[in-house]
Structure 1
Amino acid sequence: MSGGGTQNGLRKALGAIKDSTTVNIAKVSSDYKELDINIVKATNHVERPAKKKHIRAIFAAISSTRPRADVAYCIHALARRLSKTHNWAVALKTLIVIHRALREVDPTFQEELLNYGRSRDHVLNLSYFKDDSSPNAWDYSGWVRTYALYLEERLECFRVLKYDVETDRPRTKDLDTPELLEQLPALQQLLSRVLGCQGAAVNNFVIQLALSMVASESIKIYNAISDGSANLVDKFFEMQRHEALKALDIYRRAGQQPPSSFLQAMEEYVKEAPRASNVRKDLVVDAKPKAILAIEYKKETEVPEVPSEPPPPVQPVPEPVQVEVPAYEPPPDLLSLDDPVTEASEFDQKNSLALAIMPAVDQPTSTATTSVNGTSGLPVQSYNPYSGLI
C-alpha cells in the first residue's frame, strides 16, 4: 500500500473513532441525548451524504411546534460541531444540515438562527477554517469557507427582505422605491456569493450535493434581481437625486451592458434630478419655447400632399433630416428586456423617422410639447429603452 493510501486509511479510522467516542459521551452526559446522537451521525467523518433518518430527527427538533429552548440547543450543538472540527467533511455536512433546514423547516428556524448570531459569534463564521491533512482536503476546505459565506449572506438577505427568496414568491417587481433600493443590493450581494461558489471540486459527491442546492437557488435570486431591475428602470426618472444615485449604482452593479445612450440618460438625469422631496418649481416655464422637436411618420403608400395655400413669408422650414435607426442589440436577461426587436433595415422601410426643428410661431395648437417631471413647457429628449435616445 502506498504512503498516501496508508495515511488516508488512518484518517478514516481516526475519524470513525472520534465519531464513536462522541456518540458514547452523548449517551451518558447529554440532556438531549437523542438529538446529539443524530447530529453526530448526520455530520460524521464519512465522505457520504447523511442518512435521511438522522436529518428528519434534527428537523423535528427545530420545528415551530417544539419549545424554543429545544431549537436554541440544536443550533448551539450544530455551532459547536462547526467550531471544534478540523475535518472538511464534518464541516461541510454540518453546513448542509443547516442549509437544508433553511430550505425545508419553517421560517422560525431562520429567526432563531439570526437571534443566536446576535448574542454570540456567528454560527456560520468559518473564515479561519482549514483542513491541511491532504492536498484534496486543503482544496475542499477552501470551498467549505466559500459555502459558509454564501449561507451567511443568505441569512442576512432573509433579515433584509423579511422573507426567503428561495421558498417564497419574489416581490421585487411590486416594491416601492425605498424598499427596492434596500432589497436589491442585498440580493446582488447574495448573487455574488453564488458566483463565488463556482470552480468547486465537482469530483466529490458531498460537494456536488451542496453545489446543487446553491445552483437551484441562484435561479430564483437571479429572477428576483431581474424583476427588481425592471422595476428600478420604470421608477428611475421619477426619483429624487439621492435615490437616483443609489439606483444608478445598483444598475451598474447588475452586470448589465445596456445601450450606452440609456446609461448616459440615467447619468444626465442624476445631475439634474430634484434634490428636495418636491419637484423644483423653477423648472416650470410658462413662456412658449423657441423651438419644438417634432417627429413625422411617413408611410410607404402615402404621397405627401402639396399645401393648398402658399406658406407664410417667414423663414422656410428646413427639409426633414432622415435619421437612421441603429440596429439594437437587446441587453442581457437580467432586465428581462429580451423581447424580439425589429431589424433596423425593416424598420426604416416601414416607418422611417423624420426629425424637423420648426419655429414656435408655426407651432400647431395641437402639437404636444415634451415635459420634464410631468411639467409641460420644456423641450427635452425623450428616451425609449429599446431604441436609445430619440
Structure 2
Amino acid sequence: MGRIPILRDIIGILKDKASQSKAALLSDPKTLSLHLALLRATTHDPFTPPDPRHLDALLASGHTSRATVSTVVEALMDRLQTTRDASVAIKCLITAHHIVKRGSFILQDQLSVYPSNGGRNYLKLSGFRDNTTSFTWELSSWVRWYALYLENLLQTSRILGFFLSSNPSSVEKDEEQEEKVSSLINSQLLKEINSLGNLIEQISRMPNSSHADGNLLVEDVVGLVGEDYLSSINEVSIRVGEFKERLSCLSFFDSVELVLALKRLEDCKERLSALSQMKNVLFETVWHSISEAKNQFGNDGVYGGEGRLLSTGSSKNKVSESSRYEERVLKLADSVKFSSIRFSF
C-alpha cells in the first residue's frame, strides 16, 4: 500500500478518537453509550465492516423509549450527511440496512420517516464524492447506489405494508402472503409488482468496481442486498402466481400494464445473473415463471416482440372499447373485491 493511504488511515484513526472524545464530553449521559456505539460502528477504517457488537448495541436501543430511538436515528442520519469519507458513509448505510432488517418496529418506523413524508431526504446522496484515492473514488459509487437502493427498499416496504428485509421466506409465511395477496384488487397488485420491479431494477444496477473487489465492506453490502433479492423475488413470484389465477378476469389495460412490468423485470435477469452471490436454482425457477407469465398475458396481442404495445392490427383483435367495457362489467356472482378464480364456486 502506498504512502498516501497509510497517512490517510492514521488521520482516520485520529478523527475517530477525536469524535469519541467529543461525544464523551458533549453527549447526554443517558445516550452516551449509544453515541459511542454509533461512532465505533462507523469508523474511518476502509477495510472493516461495522463490528456486530456495536450494531447490536444500536439495535438494542429500539427497546427503549421513542425519544431515545429518535435521537439514535437522527445521529446516524446526521453522520451520514456530514461525512465526506466514503468508508464512514457506507458504514452508516450498512447500519441503516441492519435497522431495516433486524430493528424493532420503533427503530424501523423512525428510520422510514426520513426519506418519505416531507422534510429532508437524508438518503439523497447522488452528489457524494470522495476523491482522496482511486479506491475511495470507486467506493463513492457504491455509496451513491446503496443510498438510492435503501430509499427504494423503504418505499417498496411502505407499499407492501411490511419491511421486506425483515420478512424472510418460509412455507408458513408464503402461505400467509398468498392468502393476503389473493384478497387485493388488481390495481393494488399491479402497484406492488411495479414497486418490487423498481427495487430489483435498482439491485441490477449494482456497481462493478475493480478496486473494490475483495473489500470486506463491499462484500458486506452485497451479502445484505443478496438477502433482500431473495425476499423480493419471492414476493414477485407470489404475485405472478396470483395474476395467473386471474388471467380470465383482467381488463385489457391491466394486462398491458402487467406485461410491461414483467418485461421490465425480465430485462434485469442477465445483469443479476452476473452476480455469483445471487445465483440460485430457486431464482431460475422464478425467472422462468416470470417469462412464462409475460408470454401468457401477451398472447392476446397487447404486447410486441420488441417491447412495443400493439395497436391490435388484425380484425380479430380490433375490439371496440364499448365491446371491451361489456366484458369488464362484473356479474352479480363476481362482485367481490378480488378477482382470483381460486375463490370461484
TM range (shorter): 0.7 to 0.9
Identify if the C-alpha distance between structure 1 residues 274 and 220 changes in structure 2 by more than 3 Å, giving closer, same or farther: farther
Is residue 265 from structure 1 mapped to residue 264 from structure 2 by the alignment? Answer: no
- Pick from 101, 123, 137 the counterpart of residue 99 of structure 2: 101
Identify if the C-alpha distance between structure 1 residues 54 and 257 changes in structure 2 by more than 3 Å, giving closer, same or farther: closer
Q: Aligned partners of 1:28, 1:150: CA distance in 2, in Å?
A: 36
Higher percent of residues as helix: 2
Which stretch shows the higher mean deviation, 107-116 or 146-155?
107-116
Identify if the C-alpha distance between structure 1 residues 119 and 178 changes in structure 2 by more than 3 Å, giving closer, same or farther: closer
Paired-residue identity, %:
24
Partner residue, 2:269: none
Identify if the C-alpha distance between structure 1 residues 254 and 235 changes in structure 2 by more than 3 Å, giving closer, same or farther: farther
Identify if the C-alpha distance between structure 1 residues 278 and 197 changes in structure 2 by more than 3 Å, giving closer, same or farther: same
Higher percent of residues as strand: 1
What secondary structure is seen at the aligned counterpart in 2 of 1:254? helix
Structure 1 residues 51-98: Cα deviation after superposition (integer angstroms, max 9, x where no partner):
22211211111x1x3221111111110111111111111111111111
Q: Aligned partners of 1:281, 1:228: CA distance in 2, in Å?
A: 21
What secondary structure is seen at the aligned counterpart in 2 of 1:49? coil
Partner residue, 2:157: 158
Partner residue, 2:229: 218
Q: How does 1:176-255 map to 2 (within 5 A)?
A: 176-197=185-206, 199-200=208-209, 201-255=212-266
Contact 2:200/2:265, CA 8 A, preserved across alignment: no
- Deviation >6 Å, runs of 4+: 273-278
Q: Aligned partners of 2:121, 2:216: CA distance in 1, in Å?
A: 27
Aligned residues: 278
Contact 1:42/1:93, CA 8 A, preserved across alignment: yes
Contact 1:88/1:144, CA 8 A, preserved across alignment: yes
Partner residue, 1:34: 33
- The CA deviation at 1:231 is 1.9
Identify if the C-alpha distance between structure 1 residues 270 and 225 changes in structure 2 by more than 3 Å, giving closer, same or farther: farther
Q: Which amino acid aligns with 2:153?
A: R
Identify if the C-alpha distance between structure 1 residues 110 and 205 changes in structure 2 by more than 3 Å, giving closer, same or farther: same
Identify if the C-alpha distance between structure 1 residues 276 and 162 changes in structure 2 by more than 3 Å, giving closer, same or farther: farther
Q: Which structure is larger by alpha-carbon Rg, 1 or 2?
A: 1
- The CA deviation at 1:274 is 6.3
Q: How well do the aligned residues superpose, as a CA RMSD in angstroms?
A: 2.8
Partner residue, 2:121: 122
Partner residue, 2:147: 148
Identify if the C-alpha distance between structure 1 residues 270 and 79 changes in structure 2 by more than 3 Å, giving closer, same or farther: farther
Q: How does 1:243-322 map to 2 (within 5 A)?
A: 243-255=254-266, 257-258=291-292, 263-265=298-300, 267=302, 272=319, 279-280=326-327
Q: Which amino acid aligns with 1:181?
A: L
- The CA deviation at 1:178 is 2.5
- Structure 2's unaligned 5+ residue stretches are 168-172, 267-289, 303-311, 335-345
Q: Aligned partners of 1:277, 1:82: CA distance in 2, in Å?
A: 53
Q: Aligned partners of 1:275, 1:18: CA distance in 2, in Å?
A: 70
- Structure 1's unaligned 5+ residue stretches are 283-373, 375-390
Contact 1:45/1:90, CA 8 A, preserved across alignment: yes
Give the TM-score normalised by the residue count of structure 2. 0.73
Contact 1:240/1:274, CA 8 A, preserved across alignment: no
Which stretch shows the higher mean deviation, 17-26 or 191-200?
191-200
Partner residue, 1:13: 10
- The CA deviation at 1:30 is 1.2
Q: Aligned partners of 1:281, 1:38: CA distance in 2, in Å?
A: 58
Q: Which amino acid aligns with 1:209?
A: D
- The CA deviation at 1:204 is 0.5
Give the TM-score normalised by the residue count of structure 1. 0.65
Q: Which amino acid aligns with 2:258?
A: A
Partner residue, 2:68: 70
Q: Which has the higher contact order (CA 8 A, sep 6+)?
A: 2
Identify if the C-alpha distance between structure 1 residues 261 and 115 changes in structure 2 by more than 3 Å, giving closer, same or farther: closer
Identify if the C-alpha distance between structure 1 residues 6 and 146 changes in structure 2 by more than 3 Å, giving closer, same or farther: same
